[in-house]
Structure formats: C-alpha cells, structure tokens
A and B are shown apart, each in its own frame.
Chain A
C-alpha cells in the first residue's frame, strides 16, 4: 500500500523530471545506458562468434559453407548494431565508422560470393582439345586425360568430355538447383543425409536431358565410334565421373560412379546416372566433410572408348609408402583393371628403376584365377583366367619398361609423383586411362599426446586453452608494454593479463601464458590467428615460473612442463586435413576482414580512430573503448539531474543516486544501503563502511581546539567540495563521482556475468596540498592500484586507472579495496612530505587492507 506521502513524492519527482530529465544533448541517462548495454552484449557475441570461427581453422571441426555464411551474417548484424548504439551513445560523433563498416562488409560479401564460375563451353569437347587448365570446364579427371593426349602425346583412348556447362544446362533445365538443397544439411545426421540423398538422386534420374544436350552427346558418341572404329569391333564406351574437384587436391576416390562398356545409344542414360552419383550419401558426406561448397558440386563426365583390355592395372611413379624409395611400381592383372584398382585379386607387381631405359628391379607374378572382362552385350563379367595364361606374366618386360617410362614422363610433366591407370588392348597397345597426383602417405606420427609424461615435471596444470598446440622456450615476463620491444625470438610470453598489444611479438612467441584472461578476448583471438599455443587463466604463472626458465607449454592437455620436451613439441605439430578445401579457404579469406586487429593503442589518438578500422575486430574494439569513455562522462551531467535520490548511509558523504534500472530496490524516496542492488555500488559501500573514517575534530580541556588561521598556500585555492557525490547505477553498472576533501574522483565499474564486459575505471584529480605533495599522492595511488592489477597513467595530480576482464567476484573484491583506498588517501597529500613517506604508506595500505600476496616489486 502506498502512502499519500510516497505518491506525493513520486509526483514531485516526476515534476522535477520533466524539464531536467535529459542531459543537454537530449538523450536521457537511461537511453544512453541501454545503448551501452546493447553495445556490450553485441561486443560479446561478436567476440564469441569470431572465436568460434577461428576455432574452426584448427581443423578439428567439420563445417560447411552454410556455417561460414551464417556466422558472417551474425557478425554483420552485430557490428552494425554496435555502430548504431555507439552513434546514439556519442550523439553521432563517430559516424565515420559506417563508411569503414561498408567497405569491410563489401569485401566480405565479395569473398563469400566467390563461387566457381562455370565457363560457357560446348556441351561436349573432344579430348584432343582439352588441357589441364580446363578443370572448371571438364573436371579434374578429364582435364588430366586431355592434357596427356593433347600435350604429351602418350597413348590415350579416344574420347570426349561432357562439360560442366552441360551439367549446368541439365540442372537448370530441370530446375534441380532449386529442388536439391544440401546447403543447410547437417552432414552428421545420417538419417537426414540419406533422405536428402535419395530425393536428389530420384530427381536427377527422373529428369529429362534437354534435347540440345542429348543431341550433342549422341553426335559426339557417333563421332567417337567412328574414330575408335579401327580398334574395336562393336564400339562400347566407358562413362566416367569427372567432378570439378575430383583429382585436384582431393581424390574423391571411388565417390562417384563409373559405368563400363556402355553401348553408344546408352551413353545419355549413363550420363544421367553419373550425375545422380554426385548425390549419393557417400559423395555428399565426403563433399561436406571435406569442406566443399554446394556450389562446388559440379559434375562433368568423360566418355572414353571402352578398351577391351587384355591386361590392365595401376602404376605409381614412386612408392607411395616411402617417397625416398627409388623406383616405379607397376601393378597389373589379366583383364580389366578394376580388379587391380579394387584389390580383388593379387596383382603382378614390378618395380622398375627410374633411369631411362629402366631395369626391372623386382617382380612378383602370382597366379591369377579370376578376371573381369567386357561382356559381349555391354556390361562386364567375371570369368576364370584361361589356363594357358594364368601362370604367365600379364606384361612383357619390354611393356613393363615402356610403362615405367610413361610414368616418369607424367611425373615430370605434372611435377609430382603420379598414380596412373593403364591398359593393354587386344592389339598389345599400351594406353593410359587416367593419371592423378599420388597421395604419399606421410610417416604416421603419434598424434595422441599423453596427459602427463613420466619423468617430466608438470609445473602448472590449470587454465583455459585459447589456442591449441605445443610450444617451448624460455619464460619471458611482460609486465609493461616496453618489455615487448626486447622480446626474444622463441620465448614463452608470460603475463598477468592478456593484452592485444602482444600481437607485436606473436610471430616470435612460441607460446603465451597469462594468469588472467578471456577466451573470447582480443588477445585470444589474435593468438588463434597467429596460431600461438596459448593458455589463459593460469592464475599462478607469474608466481610459479621464473624468467629465463625453459618450459614446454602443452596447450592441448593444458600442462606446463619444466624443460624442453621434444617429444611433445613434435607430437603437437598437428596436420590439418581440411587446409586446402575451398570452404576452409573461404573461411580463412573472410576472416582476414574480420579478425586482425590494427587498432592496438588507444593512447595513440591519431591512429585509434574510425578511418584506421580495417576489420570488424577493429570496429568492435574501437566502439567498445569509445563507448566506455562515453559512459564515463555520464557522471559529469549527473549533478544537473533532478531525479537523484539521497542515500541515507553512515558515511560522511552526501551521496545521491540515479537509478538506470535495477540498481536500487524500492524507489519510494528514502533509500538506504540495503536498498542498493547495484553490484559494484554495494561492494564499494561495504568497503567504505568497513574502514574507520577520520575522527571528530580535536578537543582539549577548554573545548574544541581552535584554528589559528587557515593557510592560503594551497596552489589551487579551490574550496573543499561541499557538493553531493552522484552515483549513476544499474544492476551491473556504477558511475560514481565522489567529491571528497579537495579532490574529485570518479569510480566507474561494470560487474556482470560476462568477463569481457567487466571493468573498473578510476579517475582521480586534485588535492589541497602543494603540487609536489599532490603528485606524490597520485604516485601512491598508482602504486597501490598497480598492485591490484590496474593499468595506470598518472601525470601530476591526475590519475587514470583501469582494470578490465575480471570475473564479477574479483571486480567486487577490487572495489572493496578501492573503497578503502578512497578513505585512506583522503587528504593524505598533506602528509606526503617525501617519497619515503609515500613508500611507507603504500606498504601500510597493503599490510592493512590488501593482505593477499601481491606481485613482487619490480
């Protein structure tokens, strides 16, 4: 029930509010604070999104283009919102950010829009007109075969390609692009994968080949039949997939279909079947998991005369299990090569030296029982190897040496070891059916890193991993920015706090360890960009580690070892299986406009400005920094406001509170400390009330001791502040301008649930004593603040200190200390006769009010 009085008071407040509710710029505190809050929230989600995207670069996760696009959409929206809120908060002072945002956004859009342009070509292209540069038109396999035919003049079957352009025609004609959507498909869900795959294949198989394309294929098939006629009686073709990325860096081995021994009239339907194989569950999964974009799923097809092979097989221009071994390896089987490729029968094996002409170094010719041959009426059949040949080598020594020569020519031409399919036709002509880069299996390293290594001492096993990896080097403490200048190559950076300024040594640092820090902070992001193994929130690194000490940082298991452990360093060298995939490249490319931080030094007023913002990270950091400054100024207008409530508190301070929402419970007028719900304000008041304030004036037997006279030797003869102290508060935020004695201090703090939001800023200026003593007080405060991890700038009697990114509890603890410091230093300037006195007071304060261990004096 509200009393009449409280209603009256409310009315009174309201009345007072109307003319004075807004600062001169017309925006109310509340509105400004709302903007600030939104900005903080956006800042956090931007940093989190960036962290998530960078994490994906580690190669430990599967993601697709849909992921990249949607994350970029989030960033664009949030960064835009950050700028808008800063705009409102600062009354449009930083409008220049919009321009920079537009520029960056345009680059990102361009980067994301880059998809494979399908060149406009004929629907069909004969192999003799194809070179290896035509991957985008005919697919990888076709391009290679064409190259071998047109440029190397090695024997290759006759054939033609059905181009990527033809694929586009087929898809567009049937509107399959719209009907089949694998973009948002979650490749981990097998059920969904199967459903989408089935639907897609059905759609393709039921689709009609447009007549122009059909005609082109039929014509090309007739032409092929004519050309190949000299070799075979009754022409058949092999119809093979040649997807755009097949055989490039990725083998796609066995993902798509190949149809052997197809009659000319069936080439068109075989074509459709092969297109459908682009959408098998296996192929979609492979594509998605290897990080290809949906746009990259383009299928060209090769139509090659079917070689009714007497023998066929595979050869490697080098030993794929050991690149150092010298020798061409040739496998062969009687009949079609599929049995050799699929490993169904044990092939004949030859190792040939790499000189020309080569010599056969090894051979193994097992007895072959079964073989695959072309059936007379299309298709292939399994049959017994005729007795008269089953114990004979499938190749003559001369043929073996010729094949080895072909392999070396191909390797030389492509500059890489090759994996080649060959065939021997019924007329004993050797033919190259396919060539692609050979995958050399690197020596398998043990990727699993033990949690702890016996015989090695773990110094620390706490903290959070910001960037995975292992690094070793000598400990180098960074306590001041200047120390970064002499950062030794290969050292481990150890610091109390994270700082974006560390980026200047990230190319030299072998690892980073900090006692405090946020995984989504600026520095963590940069560490991931530079791939520096980094552990944050270690808590005790500055105490446990010694400068110059050699350590190994295992930022995979979160262990820091004494000494250098090669075994771990080696094991930590992770290979990234997705490194070269298009979607990985897209992510990496787009992150270049997002992550790098160019705005490192807020104190550099010239360069810390909108026009130097080159990335979203720059904009966000700039806006966050500037927004904090704008909020800091909010207190300046507080005394002009009429909505302040007097705080009834047992302190010699006249405190007026302005609530922005959630900072004060029960706004009925009279408020006490118990009504304060503002987290930082509560912590501060608690601290202020826990310490003894200067006692009452002296008395002697005759009564109050009188002052003989007042001094005017004060260099700034301003009067002691008698005006009230204003606190602008919300639940998490406090901006408290305290007028105490002869100085003014503004204490601003944010203490919420997100570490990135939290900070304390402390501005202190003035005093009643002579300038040198005031300056000494500033130094005294600086020294104490630095003990509680503040970054402090102090000139003369002006001090600006700041601490950021601590959890709420720690912020509260620091505020408690600051409350005591406020009382402790009240008019202390008067006393500070010499620097020795200052040092004594610093020690005294630490002893009395900050008993916890502090970092050693430097």
Chain B
C-alpha cells in the first residue's frame, strides 16, 4: 500500500521558486510573476539581504496595490477608475518596494512534520503557502494545492 508522501517530497525547494529581495518594486514583482505564468507559480517569496525569509507576495495583494484603495471602491466604479489610472499613466504605486505589500510568515513547519500537520496549520491560519525548514533553515515551501492533491489521492484510493 502506497504511503502518503512526506513534506520533503511535497515541498518546492526555494531554488525553484520565484524569489525577491524586499526592496524590489511592485513592478518587478509583477514582471516576475508574469514571466512565471507558465510555471503555475502565483506567489513570490520575499527575502532580506542575508537570505532571511520574511514573507510572501501573492497575486491578490499585487492587484490590490496597483491602485491604492482598489478594494475599497464600489464595484460599479472600479472599471472607470482603472481606465483613468491607465490613461493618466499614474502608476506610481508600481515604483514602491514590495516590502510594503508582503504578508509576513508567522509559522513554519519542519520537513519532518506530517503532511496533515501542515494542512492543519494552513487551515488554522487561513494560508495557502507554508514555509518548510530543514535543520533550522528554510528549505522550501508547501502549497495547499499539493497537500490537498496528496490527501485527495489518499482518500480516493478507498
């Protein structure tokens, strides 16, 4: 009987993931994710100068930040506002560093932890991406979709 995969197997190594230093601009981040479209990556890991992992930047956050107050607009006004933004080339937000937009990581799992532990933490903290450490250092991240897929495969075998 096939065993459920462990976190080490499910983890995406940091070296295969889009990374950025916190001082990169929002524009750079959009460029990076745009070029990473084919790889299905939808988030960027953000580091400091000494390669300390400090947070993540996701697509929703980026969209939110392109237009200040985007999420607060009424649904009817949104398209007008966007057109205005594009027409005036008023894209100052794009020049802002991503450090202002990242979601910090507050929890981390160990590579030896069970997949279900990771799933549990993600549900508890309402996140889709969780850093994984190995010997006290960040080695990669696991995604909810991969964990879900693994659990689903496990269930569907019955």
Contact = CB atoms under 8 A, between A and B. Distances in A.
- Please indicate which of the listed interface residues B14, B51, B54, B108 has the most CB atoms of chain A within 10 Å of its own CB: B51
B28 A831 contact: yes
A560 B53 CA distance: 60
Interface string A246-273: 0000000000000000000000000000
Contact of A706 (B14, B20, B50, B54): B54
Interface stretch (A55-63, A297-305, A354-362, A691-699): A691-699
Contacts, number: 109
A830 B53 contact: no
Interface residues of B, number: 42
Given A741-B49, A830-B47, A837-B31, A708 B23 contact: no
B24 interface: yes
Contact of B52 (A707, A770, A837): A707
A697 to B, nearest CB: 6
A839 to B, nearest CB: 9
A826 to B, nearest CB: 9
Interface stretch (A87-95, A470-478, A565-573, A710-718): A710-718
Given A694-B21, A706-B54, A712 B135 contact: yes
A720 interface: yes
Most A-side CB within 10 Å, residue of B15, B31, B106, B108:
B15
B54 A833 contact: no
Contacts of A833: 18-19, 32, 35-36
Contacts of B139: 711-713
Contact of A710 (B21, B100, B102, B138): B138
A212 B134 CA distance: 111
Interface residues of A, number: 30
Interface string B18-58: 11111110001001100110000000000111111111000
A700 interface: yes
Given A709-B108, A711-B47, A711-B51, A830 B21 contact: yes
Interface in A796-824: none
Interface string B63-107: 000000000000000000000000000000000010110101111
Prevailing SS type, chain B contact patch = mixed
B141 to A, nearest CB: 11
Given A698-B22, A698-B100, A834 B36 contact: yes
Interface in A682-697: 694-695, 697
Interface string A769-813: 110110000000000000000000000000000000000000000
A441 interface: no
Given A697-B22, A710-B50, A705 B137 contact: no
A9 to B, nearest CB: 33
Contacts of A698: 22, 54-55, 97, 99-100, 102
A836 interface: yes
B21 A709 contact: no
A827 interface: yes
A708 B105 contact: yes
Given A700-B104, A706-B104, A713 B31 contact: no
Nearest to A838: B35
* The 9 A-B residue pairs with the shortest CB-CB distance in the complex, in nearest-first order: A707-B52, A698-B99, A694-B23, A712-B137, A770-B15, A708-B105, A836-B35, A711-B138, A709-B138
Given A712-B134, A714-B51, 6 more contacts: A708-B53, A709-B131, A830-B19, A831-B21, A836-B35, A840-B31
